[in-house]
Amino acid sequence: MTRLTALCLFLLVGLGICAPVLLLASSSAADPKVRSASALVVDRHGKIIYGKDIETVRPIASITKLMTAMVILDSGLNLDEKITVTRADRDLVQLTDSRLEYGAALTRREMILLAIMSSENRAAAALGRTYPGGTGKFVAQMNQKASGLGMLASRFADAAGLKVENQSTASDLAKMVAAADGYPLIRQASTTQRMEVRPYEGRGPLVYGNTNRLLKNKSWDIALSKTGYINEAGRCLVMQATIEGEPVAIVLLNSFGKLTPFGDSNRLRKWMLAQKN
């Protein structure tokens, strides 16, 4: 889009002659009709393929857990050390339930896997609580990590993403997805479809599933993903995927409806494929 075209569109919008437009890679491209409030697709170099409201700061819910996992892995803490869930890990913000009862014990590696693949809130909270210096120090490290990644519009407030103060932009989250893609355990956790854990002695296993249903779709080649939801954030989804041989990062924020992020992902994929033809 040229500067002249952009200026004309701005003036037309101001006069009420036309509706605000999406920031597309090509001004002549068809509208993929994305329903999420913010949406972004970037290529491996960070070039925008598609963008919609990418600089608005929004709550990001459990997308936060990608930062949680990165900070834990950066710390060099023993991943085979067992962590025990306590009352301190319960959700007093959104009042969500958990199958990890007080006394449940899993390794730090298993806690990361559950936090990422199944968005287990107590697992994430336990990871932050058992960080050297406790939860407060952990959250400070999350914000320091974000700053180091150039996520200047982002803020983190807890390890699980339950507080509305966990906020970012689609543009910043594309940077976080790119960084998270460099951690093999995060890639593994986010693309594992099913996992069994045994947090209680003398009891059977708990079976967890992945929150991203697109992993079951053979037309998708997904290397990393994370979903998120609280009322204030709507439905959120970030992914690193390969479409027609091209690695891309996809960020979708504040979607209304449980299936909307998956529908938007499919609409964007279809739109991208159409641009190649």
Average pLDDT along the chain: 90
Q: Has residue 18 got a pLDDT over 90?
A: no
Is 60 exceeded by the pLDDT of residue 65? yes
User: Packing angle between helix 184-191 and helix 108-117, nearest 10 degrees?
Assistant: 50
pLDDT, position 30 = 79
Give buried/exposed letters for 72-84 (b at 16+ CB in 10 A, else e): bbeeebeeeeebe
All structural domains of the chain with their residue ranges: 18-276
The pLDDT-based confidence of 256 (bands split at 50, 70, 90) is: confident
Say if residue 26's pLDDT is above 90. Answer: no
Matching residue, tokens 């439905």: 235
- Whether the pLDDT of residue 231 is over 60: the answer is yes
Q: Is 219 a catalytic residue?
A: no
Choice among 20-24, 46-50, 83-87, 228-232 with the minimum mean pLDDT: 20-24
**Closest to 85 measured CA to CA, from 127, 137, 116, 133:** 127
- Per-residue pLDDT at 106 exceeds 80: yes
DSSP E strand boundaries for 4-115: 23-24, 38-43, 48-52, 58-59, 82-84, 105-107
Q: For the residues 258-271, what does the mean pLDDT come to?
A: 95
Catalytic site includes residue 26: no
- Residue 206: pLDDT over 90: yes
* Gap between the Cα atoms of 118 and 120, Å rounded: 5
The rounded distance, in Å, linking the Cα atoms of 35 and 43 is: 21
Instruction: Check if 226 is active-site.
Output: no
H-helix or E-strand spanning residue 255: strand 246-255
pLDDT of 16 strictly over 70 = no
User: 38, 119, 154, 265: which one is catalytic?
Assistant: 119
Task: Give 264's contacts (C-beta < 8 A, 6+ positions apart).
Answer: 34, 35, 36, 39, 237, 252, 255
pTM, rounded to two decimals: 0.89
Average pLDDT for 256-261: 92
Q: Is the pLDDT of residue 8 over 70?
A: no
| Whether pLDDT at 226 is above 70 | yes
CATH class of 18-276: alpha beta
Of 62, 118, 154, 265, the active-site residue reads 62
Active-site annotation holder among 36, 38, 52, 65? 65
